[in-house]
Structure 1
Amino acid sequence: MPPHIRRAAELRDAGCVFAGCQAPTWFCDVHHLLHWAHGGETSLGNSALLCERHHTKVHSGYRVQRVGDRWRTWRPDGTEILIATTRLRT
């Protein structure tokens, strides 16, 4: 992945985009959403930051997709992984 696309993905994604993951950018790979071998281009629009664990999951049937300004994650059976948000105590 060219350095300028990696930097742009780091700024946009701020870490692993898999639902519920909080891995920082330096712990992530840039993943082609549509693999280059299947015609996917090397571009920011076809890229997502994923930690090693979740990068492996995506290559094993899980899926991430950017919808609007947020990332969504699906299991191999097509069900979406939804993470409840919690409020931090102040």
Structure 2
Amino acid sequence: MLGPDGVPLDHGRTVRLFPAHVRRAAEVRDGGCVFAGCAAPTWWCDVHHVLAWVDGGATDLANAALLCERHHTKVHHGFRVERRPDGRWRTWRPDGTEIRTGPQRTGPPLATAA
């Protein structure tokens, strides 16, 4: 997938760290930390691999989520975020229950294969 400037947004497994242009695309899409109820702005956030790099996750926009430092730590200790096909983010506790408090950040719907 290419961004509006023609630069690839999908790096697959060729690089581990998200390049600056993929971060910018995630900032536009996510608007800030995607953890339920968090209002942290983009400049407080890290770009997180939704499916961890060590588990085969790709370094691409589809596998990226903006998380503030606090919530980035939480997802590395059992919490989980996932992006629904309609673009909304969901947050799960380590026990599998969903956190449904606060506003949900919404990006554009996920692209579907034709």
TM-score by length of 1: 0.91
Amino acid at match of 2:79: Y
Q: Is 2:85 aligned against 1:32?
A: no
Unaligned segments of structure 2, at least 5 residues: 1-17, 104-114
Alignment length (residue pairs): 85
Which residue is 2:36 aligned to?
A: 19
Distance 1:46 1:4 in 2: 14
Distance 2:54 2:102 in 1: 36
Q: 4+ runs of 1 displaced by more than 2 Å?
A: none
Unaligned segments of structure 1, at least 5 residues: 86-90
Q: Is 2:69 aligned against 1:69?
A: no
- The correspondence for 1:43, drawn from 39, 60, 65, is 60
Deviation of the 1:38 alpha carbon: 1.2
Deviation of the 1:19 alpha carbon: 0.1
- The correspondence for 2:96, drawn from 75, 78, 88, is 78
Q: Is 2:31 aligned against 1:8?
A: no
TM-score by length of 2: 0.72
After superposition, give the CA deviation of every residue in 1:30-59 in whole Å (9 maximum; x if it has no partner). Answer: 000111111110000000000000000000
SS at match of 2:71: helix
SS at match of 1:15: coil
Distance 2:47 2:88 in 1: 17
Distance 1:35 1:69 in 2: 20
User: Please, what is the CA RMSD of the aligned residues?
Assistant: 1.0
Q: 1:84 to 1:23 in 2, by over 3 A?
A: closer
Q: Which has the higher helix share?
A: 1
